[in-house]
Chain A
Amino acid sequence: MPTVLEKKKTVRINGCVASAQAAKYADVDVIAAYPIRPYTATMMALAQMVANGELDAEYIVADSEHSQLSIAHGAASSGARVFTGSSGVGVQFAYELYSPISGSRMPVQMMIADRTLDPPGDFGSEHTDALSTRDMGWLMGWACDAQEAFDNHLMAYRIGEDPRVLLPQMVCQDGFFVSHITGDVELPDPTQVKEFLPPYKHPYPLDPRHPVSHGPQIMPEQGPPLQLERARAMEGSMAVIEEVHKEFGEIFGRKYDPWVEEFMTDDAEVVFFLQGAHAVTARFAIQHMREKGLKVGMARLRTIRPYPTDRVCEVLSKFKVVGVIETNMALGSPASGGALYADACAALYEAKERPLVISFMAGMGGEAIVLKEFYWMAEKMMQALKRGKIEKRTHWVGFEE
Chain B
Amino acid sequence: MATIEVQRQILPILANPNQGARFYNPELPQSEPFVPGHRTCAGCGPSIQYRMTSKASGDNTILVGPTGCMYVANSSYLCTPYNVPWAHTQIGSAGSFTAGVAAAYEALIRKGKWKGQYPNIICEAGDGSASDIGLASISGALYRNHDCLIICYDNEQYANTGIQASSRTPYGGMTTFSPPGPEVPEGKKLFPKDLARMMAAGHPHCYVATASVGYPIDLMNKVRKGLNHKGAAYLMVYTPCQKGFVYETPRSIDLGRMVVECGLYPMWEWTPEKRAFDYSFRPASIRPVSEYLKLQGRFGHLHAEHIANLQKFANEQWRMVGVELPEALIKAADPKNQINMAAAAEAEVVAETV
Q: Contacts A60-B144, A206-B62 hold; do A71 and B97 have CB atoms under 8 A apart?
A: yes
Cα distance A219–B75 when bound, in Å?
Answer: 11
Chain A residues lying within 8 Å of B96, measured Cβ to Cβ, are 62-63, 66-68, 70-71, 74
Cα distance A79–B72 when bound, in Å?
Answer: 25
Verify if B271 is at the interface (C-beta below 8 Å from A): no
- Contact between A56 and B84, CB atoms less than 8 A apart: no
Chain A residues lying within 8 Å of B80, measured Cβ to Cβ, are 213, 216
Cα distance A79–B107 when bound, in Å?
Answer: 10
Tell me which of A29, A57, A60, A100 contacts B89 (CB under 8 A): A100
Chain B residues lying within 8 Å of A78, measured Cβ to Cβ, are 62, 100-101, 104-105, 108
Q: Which residue of A lies closest to B98 (CB)?
A: A74
- Contact between B107 and A213, CB atoms less than 8 A apart: no
- Taking CB atoms and an 8 Å cut-off, the chain A residues in 31-82 that contact chain B are 32, 53, 56-58, 60-64, 66-68, 70-80, 82
Chain B residues lying within 8 Å of A57, measured Cβ to Cβ, are 107
Closest CB in chain B relative to A295 CB, distance in Å = 52
Chain A residues lying within 8 Å of B89, measured Cβ to Cβ, are 70, 73-74, 100, 215
Closest CB in chain B relative to A284 CB, distance in Å = 44
Interface residue SS majority, chain A: mixed
- Contact between B107 and A30, CB atoms less than 8 A apart: yes
Closest CB in chain B relative to A355 CB, distance in Å = 44
- Contact between A63 and B71, CB atoms less than 8 A apart: no
Verify if A209 is at the interface (C-beta below 8 Å from B): yes
Binary A-proximity of B70-107 (CB < 8 A = 1, otherwise 0): 01100111101011111111101101111111011111
Closest CB in chain B relative to A24 CB, distance in Å = 13
Chain A residues lying within 8 Å of B72, measured Cβ to Cβ, are 217
Verify if B113 is at the interface (C-beta below 8 Å from A): yes
Closest CB in chain A relative to B59 CB, distance in Å = 6
- Contact between B77 and A216, CB atoms less than 8 A apart: yes
Chain B residues lying within 8 Å of A3, measured Cβ to Cβ, are none
- Contact between A63 and B62, CB atoms less than 8 A apart: no
Q: Contacts A215-B87, A216-B80 hold; do A75 and B104 have CB atoms under 8 A apart?
A: yes
Verify if B233 is at the interface (C-beta below 8 Å from A): no
Q: Contacts A53-B1, A208-B84, A218-B77 hold; do A199 and B90 have CB atoms under 8 A apart?
A: no
Cα distance A212–B63 when bound, in Å?
Answer: 10
Chain B residues lying within 8 Å of A74, measured Cβ to Cβ, are 64, 87, 89, 93, 96-101, 103-104
Verify if B3 is at the interface (C-beta below 8 Å from A): yes
Number of A positions contacting B (CB below 8 A): 48
- Contact between B104 and A80, CB atoms less than 8 A apart: yes
Binary B-proximity of A75-93 (CB < 8 A = 1, otherwise 0): 1111110100000000000
- Contact between A56 and B100, CB atoms less than 8 A apart: no
Cα distance A80–B108 when bound, in Å?
Answer: 7
Chain A residues lying within 8 Å of B95, measured Cβ to Cβ, are 67
Chain B residues lying within 8 Å of A67, measured Cβ to Cβ, are 93, 95-96, 99, 136-137, 140
- Contact between B77 and A211, CB atoms less than 8 A apart: no
Verify if B111 is at the interface (C-beta below 8 Å from A): yes
- Contact between B103 and A75, CB atoms less than 8 A apart: yes
- Contact between A216 and B61, CB atoms less than 8 A apart: no
Chain B residues lying within 8 Å of A208, measured Cβ to Cβ, are 59-62, 84-85, 116, 119
Verify if B110 is at the interface (C-beta below 8 Å from A): yes
Binary A-proximity of B103-132 (CB < 8 A = 1, otherwise 0): 111111011011010010000000000000
Verify if A267 is at the interface (C-beta below 8 Å from B): no
Verify if A214 is at the interface (C-beta below 8 Å from B): yes
Cα distance A298–B105 when bound, in Å?
Answer: 47
- Contact between A79 and B90, CB atoms less than 8 A apart: no
Tell me which of B1, B104, B119 contacts A29 (CB under 8 A): B104
Cα distance A217–B70 when bound, in Å?
Answer: 10
Chain A residues lying within 8 Å of B86, measured Cβ to Cβ, are 206, 211-214
- Contact between B111 and A211, CB atoms less than 8 A apart: no
Chain B residues lying within 8 Å of A77, measured Cβ to Cβ, are 87, 97, 100-101, 104
Verify if A6 is at the interface (C-beta below 8 Å from B): no
Verify if A171 is at the interface (C-beta below 8 Å from B): no
- Contact between B87 and A214, CB atoms less than 8 A apart: yes
Verify if B167 is at the interface (C-beta below 8 Å from A): no
Verify if B175 is at the interface (C-beta below 8 Å from A): no
- Contact between A70 and B100, CB atoms less than 8 A apart: yes
Cα distance A222–B77 when bound, in Å?
Answer: 8
Chain A residues lying within 8 Å of B85, measured Cβ to Cβ, are 205-208, 210-214
- Contact between B3 and A213, CB atoms less than 8 A apart: no
- Contact between A211 and B82, CB atoms less than 8 A apart: yes
- Contact between B75 and A213, CB atoms less than 8 A apart: yes
Q: Which residue of A lies closest to B84 (CB)?
A: A211
Instruction: Name the residue among A32, A75, A79 with the largest chain B CB count within 10 angstroms.
Output: A75
Chain A residues lying within 8 Å of B113, measured Cβ to Cβ, are 29, 79, 199
- Taking CB atoms and an 8 Å cut-off, the chain A residues in 104-153 that contact chain B are 104
- Contact between A217 and B103, CB atoms less than 8 A apart: no
- Could you list 18 examples of A-B contacts with CB < 8 Å? A56-B3, A56-B110, A58-B107, A60-B144, A67-B95, A68-B96, A71-B103, A73-B93, A77-B101, A80-B108, A82-B100, A199-B113, A208-B59, A208-B84, A211-B82, A216-B76, A217-B71, A222-B78
Q: Closest 10 CB pairs between A and B?
A: A74-B100, A215-B88, A70-B96, A70-B93, A63-B140, A80-B104, A78-B104, A67-B96, A216-B75, A75-B100
Q: Beyond A78-B62, A211-B85, list 12 extra A-B contacts (CB 8 Å).
A: A29-B103, A29-B104, A56-B3, A64-B137, A70-B90, A72-B100, A74-B64, A75-B101, A75-B103, A206-B86, A209-B116, A211-B82
